[in-house]
Amino acid sequence: MKLMKLVGVVGLTTFLGVATVAPVPTQAKTRTLKVTKVTKRGYHATKGKIYTSTKLTKVRAQAKATKHATLYVTKHAKIQKGRHAAVYYYISNQKFKGWLWHGYLKKAPVKPAKTATKVTTPATNTTTPAKSTVTTDWQAQANQDFLAAVNKYRAQKHAAPLVIDSQFMQLAASRANDSKELGDIDHYDQAGNFIAFDRAPQFGITSGVSECLYMESGNDPLGVGKRASYEYLYDDADSNWGHRDNLLYPESTKIGIGWAQKGDTIYNAINEDY
Query: Are 79 and 170 members of one domain?
Result: no
Query: Are 172 and 84 members of one domain?
Result: no
Q: Give the integer Cα–Cα distance in Å for 79 and 204.
A: 26
Say what the pLDDT of residue 82 is.
Answer: 64
CATH number at residue 233: 3.40.33.10
Residue ending a domain, choose from 90, 107, 124:
107
**Exposure of 236 in the CB half-sphere (CA atoms within 13 A):** 26
Q: Model confidence over 212-233: pLDDT tens digits? A: 999 998 888 989 999 999 999 9
Q: Give the integer Cα–Cα distance in Å for 65 and 27.
A: 23
Q: Is residue 98 part of a domain?
A: yes
Q: Is residue 58 part of a domain?
A: yes
Query: Are 98 and 152 members of one domain?
Result: no
Name the most confidently modeled range: 29-33, 104-108, 226-230: 226-230
Q: Is residue 120 part of a domain?
A: no
Q: Model confidence over 83-95: pLDDT tens digits? A: 567 888 999 998 8
Say what the pLDDT of residue 25 is.
Answer: 55
**Is the pLDDT confidence value at 5 over 60?**
no
Mean pLDDT of 189-200: 86
**Is the pLDDT confidence value at 161 over 80?**
yes
More confident call, 155 vs 29: 155
Q: Give the integer Cα–Cα distance in Å for 242 and 141.
A: 25
Q: Give the integer Cα–Cα distance in Å for 151 and 137.
A: 21
Q: Is residue 12 part of a domain?
A: no
**Is the pLDDT confidence value at 49 over 80?**
yes
Query: Are 96 and 154 members of one domain?
Result: no
Q: Is residue 21 part of a domain?
A: no
What is the side-by-side order of every strand in the sheet holding 105-107?
A: 59-62, 49-51, 97-101, 84-92, 71-81, 31-45, 105-107
Say what the pLDDT of residue 71 is.
Answer: 92
Tell me what percent of the chain is helix, strand and coil, each rounded to the nearest 5: 30, 35, 35
Query: Are 221 and 169 members of one domain?
Result: yes
Query: Are 96 and 150 members of one domain?
Result: no
Say what the pLDDT of residue 80 is.
Answer: 80
pLDDT band at 271 (very low <50, low <70, confident <90, very high): very high
Query: Are 148 and 237 members of one domain?
Result: yes
Say what the pLDDT of residue 167 is.
Answer: 97
Query: Are 99 and 223 members of one domain?
Result: no
- Nearest 5°: the CA angle 271, 34, 57 is 150
Say what the pLDDT of residue 256 is.
Answer: 97
Query: Are 267 and 156 members of one domain?
Result: yes
Q: Is residue 116 part of a domain?
A: no
Say what the pLDDT of residue 269 is.
Answer: 96
Query: Are 84 and 185 members of one domain?
Result: no
Query: Are 149 and 224 members of one domain?
Result: yes
Q: Give the integer Cα–Cα distance in Å for 98 and 61.
A: 9
Structural domain that includes position 251: 138-273
Lowest mean pLDDT among 105-109, 167-171, 194-198, 220-224: 105-109
Query: Are 147 and 87 members of one domain?
Result: no
Q: Tally the domains of the chain.
A: 2
Torsional sign, CA 41, 44, 48, 51: positive
CATH number at residue 44: 2.30.30
